[in-house]
Structure 1
Amino acid sequence: MLSVLTTMASLGVGALPASAAQVVSSSYSHAGGALATKVTADLSWLNRSVQLGNVQFYVMPSHCARFNFWGYWGKGREVADIYSERICTTSSTGGWYSFGSETLDGSSRVGGISKVAIDVIDETHNGMNTFTTYRE
């Protein structure tokens, strides 16, 4: 347990109440309204970093898509990022993919990460949407 706490301290993550997590998502739909791709996550603002838990990614049938998580500090300077690999579906039903948990590490910056942007990209039709949230 001590090694876990030491690692958390080195990443600039401190304990926050469980209620601090918020569900965030970004999605892209075709002009006709059909959902092409969507990513969701439980976002928790830690001391200087951001925890993204239960990351889930949807890709509609016969499509290729990917997502990015971006962490920014100060006046919009990128400090951390997480990229998914390109996922292509060939099934007739599309599918949800689980990515578990990831951390945007802002421990190297005074004040840490203050803004998170989530891009979702439909590579089949060159469509994209971005959701942005800020530390309160």
Structure 2
Amino acid sequence: MLRRRLAQAGVAIGMLAVAVLGFSPAASASPTSFVAKAVHANGAGALAVQGTGGLAWYSRSVTLTSVKFYANAGECGYLTAWGWQGSALLDTYETGLYCGGSAGQWFTIGNIPLDGSQVSGGITKVEVLVDDYYHYVTGYAECWRTNSVCTSGQF
């Protein structure tokens, strides 16, 4: 009889915890998209190259989804994606060189899987770099699993 009451109380407490946690907002949400761009004149000039896409976070890995790359007229560049945990690089992906021709052009890269399954906790940060091949300008987006946005800039 005592066991049955303890079991019922345990079930009730568990259901209460699920109800409370189920309606609580997440403390932080993983970012779902990124934009990385390299702009001439230290960010004040014309756009050279740009990368955009979505982010699908899994327990240890990340997939960059619907990735596109833009190269402006007369520009060439490439995109690199890195999956990190702390200072450890877990996986990387680099495209070939894309050139915008005389009018500028968007290129569809598609999905880029980054695998972090080899370590506990997996990938916690994704870094996407777009490089302006001729002018040595690199734009970046850094996205952390525990943040709700990505930060971006260039160097």
Under a length normalisation based on structure 1, what TM-score does the superposition of the two structures give?
A: 0.80
CA distance in structure 1 between the partners assigned to 2:67 and 2:51 by the alignment: 7
Matches within 5 A, 1:33-112: 33-73=45-85, 75-91=86-102, 93-112=103-122
- For structure 2, list consecutive stretches of 5 or more residues without a partner in the other structure: 1-28, 147-155
2:139 is matched with 129
Shift of 1:89: 2.7
User: How many aligned residue pairs are there?
Assistant: 116
Under a length normalisation based on structure 2, what TM-score does the superposition of the two structures give?
A: 0.71
Higher strand share: 1
Tell me, what secondary structure is at the counterpart of 2:101? coil
Q: Which has the larger Rg?
A: 2
Identity %: 32
- For structure 1, list consecutive stretches of 5 or more residues without a partner in the other structure: 1-18
1:11 is matched with none
CA distance in structure 2 between the partners assigned to 1:132 and 1:49 by the alignment: 16
CA distance in structure 1 between the partners assigned to 2:38 and 2:100 by the alignment: 16
Higher helix share: 2
CA distance in structure 1 between the partners assigned to 2:141 and 2:94 by the alignment: 15
User: Are 1:29 and 2:32 counterparts?
Assistant: no
